[in-house]
Amino acid sequence: MFYRIRSFRAIVRTTFIEAIQEPAALLVLLTAVCVTSVAPLFHFHAFGEEGRLARDGGLASLLVFGLALGCAAAGAAVHRECASGTAAAALSKPVGRGVFLTAKYVGILLVCGLFWISVTAATLAAEAAADRTVVVGDSWDRLPDVRLRQWAIFAPLAALAVAGLLQNRRRARFGVATFLLVPAALLLTVLASGFWSHAGVWGPYTLRLNLRLIPVALPLFFALALLAAWSAALAVRLPTGAVLLAGAAILGAGLAADTWSAGAPAASLRGVLAGLFPNIQHYWLADALARGGTVPWSYIGRAAALAAAGCALALSVGVGLFRTRDID
């Protein structure tokens, strides 16, 4: 039992390290963070709520780029190791195929967790830095938080510089160091924004972040966990490109699930597909924040339970596919 636990932890750690040092994973992370941070510069209308476009854009980046990251990590962690023979070496020890695939999935999930922290922090910064109506002297004016915008853009660059320095001085892996430093730098940025007002005036610390965003971003992490589970399951048989296409198809079907599965009998094909494929609309709650709305934590708990059941189903399918595959 203790050997299996150590083997499980070793596979999780190896998967996590190998996934975050992939150039594609780092490129997806930096692209998502930069798109989220820069997007408010091109928002010229508030549409009735200040900061809403920045918030919705960040949540959309979290879902779309998270799908790409999860599919790429699953393809590299599962299919490539099965094709190269690395999986055969691991399975030659007392590690079952189900344990192997589950450990691979947990490693991928940790990568998605770091990605979620980074993009959520960037979204908080983008929304807080969006144009606001503030008092300037004796008049009202619409101003962005220029300092926070600059710091949010500078944070990933600082993480890259520190990672390069660590690689040069300590022989640290550049990709691993950058992937770990980017969320830390963004979190420090959004927390430091409380030391000045929206107009840029320094003063006592005041938390200016919209914390109502957290319970809206959490279900998107559950959606990423579901998509990563299906990606890991399909990567047993499919290469990375095909896994990415399949993941995009699952995401598209999940976003339109309310349309094609409405009123479907349980015994019909549509009913079976509605039970198999995740309904992403259950996890996309951006509209709930409109006009000061909130998402109850009881709903977050139910969404987590639903996502856990969906992940278990996907991994069960993956284990079934894995058992019928010959590993050379």
DSSP string, 236-252: TTS-HHHHHHHHHHHHH
* Annotated domain spans of the chain: 2-323
pLDDT value for 218: 96
Q: Could you say which residues of the chain have pLDDT below 50?
A: none
Structural tokens at position 284: 């996309």
Q: Are 56 and 206 in contact (CB under 8 A)?
A: no
Give the tens place of pLDDT for each residue, 222-276: 999 999 999 999 999 899 899 999 999 999 988 888 888 777 777 777 777 777 7
Nearest Cα to Cα of residue 283 among 305, 300, 264, 259: 300
| d(C-alpha 280, C-alpha 203), whole Å | 42
Is the Cα dihedral 271, 272, 273, 275 positive or negative? positive
| d(C-alpha 135, C-alpha 132), whole Å | 10
pLDDT value for 133: 72
pLDDT value for 86: 72
**b/e string for 278-308 if b means 16 or more Cβ within 10 A?**
bbbebbbbbeebeeeeebeeeebeebeebbe
| d(C-alpha 328, C-alpha 323), whole Å | 13
Residue 104 CB contacts under 8 Å (≥ 6 apart), including other chains = 11, 15, 74, 77, 78, 232
Residue 96 CB contacts under 8 Å (≥ 6 apart), including other chains = none
Q: Which residues sit opposite 35 in a β-bridge?
A: none
DSSP string, 209-240: S-GGGHHHHHHHHHHHHHHHHHHHHHTTTS-H
Structural tokens at position 263: 């009123």
What is the residue whose two structure tokens read 């979290």? 62
pLDDT value for 98: 87
pLDDT value for 316: 94
pLDDT value for 270: 79
| d(C-alpha 121, C-alpha 129), whole Å | 12
pLDDT value for 229: 95
Q: Are 125 and 183 in contact (CB under 8 A)?
A: no
Q: Are strands 132-136 and 139-143 parallel, antiparallel or unpaired?
A: antiparallel
pLDDT value for 191: 94
Nearest Cα to Cα of residue 59 among 221, 178, 179: 221
pLDDT value for 271: 79
pLDDT value for 328: 59
| d(C-alpha 11, C-alpha 13), whole Å | 5
Long-range contacts of 274-280 (CB under 8 A, 24+ apart): 276/313, 277/250, 277/253, 278/223, 278/226, 278/227, 278/230, 278/250, 278/254, 278/307, 278/310, 279/254, 280/63, 280/223, 280/251, 280/254, 280/255
pTM for the full predicted model: 0.93
| d(C-alpha 275, C-alpha 271), whole Å | 6
pLDDT value for 308: 95
